[in-house]
Amino acid sequence: MLASMDARVTLAEVDRRLADLYGDPQPEQHEPLDLLVRTILSQNTSDRNRDRAYASLRARFPTWEDVLGATPQEIADAIQGAGLHKQRAERILSVLQLIVQKQGALSLDFLRNLTPEEAEQWLLSLPGVGKKTAYIVLLMGYAIPRFPVDTHVARVTQRLGVRPASGEPHAVLAPLIPQGRQLPLHLNLINLGRQVCVARRPRCPQCPLPDLCDYVMAKADPRLRANLRAGETSAVLVRRGDGVQTMRPDREELLAILSDPMVHSVEASGTLSTKEVA
Ligand code: SF4
Distance CA 273, CA 264 (A): 18
Q: Does pLDDT of 101 surpass 90? A: yes
Measured between alpha carbons, how far is residue 145 from residues 69, 112, 174 in Å? 34, 14, 9
**What per-residue confidence (pLDDT) applies to 232?**
85
Query: What is the 210 CA–ligand 1 centroid distance (Å)?
Result: 6
Other Cβ atoms less than 10 A from the Cβ of 20: the count is 10
For a pocket test of ligand 1, which of 204, 217, 255 has the largest count of ligand atoms closer than 8 A to its C-beta?
Answer: 204
**What per-residue confidence (pLDDT) applies to 174?**
95
Distance CA 65, CA 99 (A): 12
102 carries an active-site annotation: no
Distance CA 155, CA 153 (A): 6
What pairs with residue 237 in β-bridges? Answer: 246, 267
204 CB less than 6 Å from ligand 1? yes
Q: Does pLDDT of 46 surpass 90? A: no
Measured between alpha carbons, how far is residue 44 from residues 37, 48, 83, 152 in Å? 14, 12, 9, 12
**What per-residue confidence (pLDDT) applies to 269?**
79
What is the domain partition of the chain in residue ranges? 219-277
Under 8 Å CB-to-CB from 274, ≥6 apart: which residues? none
Lowest mean pLDDT of 51-60, 184-193, 226-235, name the range.
226-235
For a pocket test of ligand 1, which of 159, 192, 206 has the largest count of ligand atoms closer than 8 A to its C-beta?
Answer: 159
Mean pLDDT computed over 92-114: 94
Can you give the chain as a three-state secondary structure string? CCCHHHHHHHHHHHHHHHHHHHCCCCCCCCCHHHHHHHHHHHCCCCHHHHHHHHHHHHHHCCCHHHHHCCCHHHHHHHCHHHCCHHHHHHHHHHHHHHHHHHHCCCCCHHHHHCCHHHHHHHHHCCCCCCHHHHHHHHHHHHCCCCCCCCHHHHHHHHHHCCCCCCCCHHHHHHHHCCCCCHHHHHHHHHHHHHHCCCCCCCCHHHCCCHHHCHHHHCCECHHHHHHHHHCCCCCEEEEECCEEEEECCCHHHHHHHHHCCCEEEEEEHHHCCHHHHC
Mean pLDDT computed over 168-189: 96
Q: Does pLDDT of 274 surpass 60? A: no
Q: How confident is the model at residue 272 (pLDDT cuts 50, 70, 90)?
A: very low
Q: Among residues 233, 223, 220, which one has the least CA distance to residue 263? A: 220
Q: Does pLDDT of 83 surpass 80? A: no
Percent pLDDT > 90 in the chain is 77
Query: What is the 160 CA–ligand 1 centroid distance (Å)?
Result: 7
Distance CA 152, CA 186 (A): 9
The pLDDT tens digits of the residues spanning 195-228 come to 999 999 999 999 999 999 999 999 999 999 988 8
Give exposure, 237-268, as e/b (b: 16+ Cβ within 10 Å).
bbbeeeeeeeeebeeeebbebbbbeebebbbb
**What per-residue confidence (pLDDT) applies to 47?**
83
Q: How confident is the model at residue 1 (pLDDT cuts 50, 70, 90)?
A: low
Biggest alpha carbon–alpha carbon distance for the chain: 80
Query: What is the 211 CA–ligand 1 centroid distance (Å)?
Result: 9
Query: What is the 27 CA–ligand 1 centroid distance (Å)?
Result: 24
213 CB less than 6 Å from ligand 1? yes
Lowest mean pLDDT of 46-55, 178-187, 216-225, name the range.
46-55
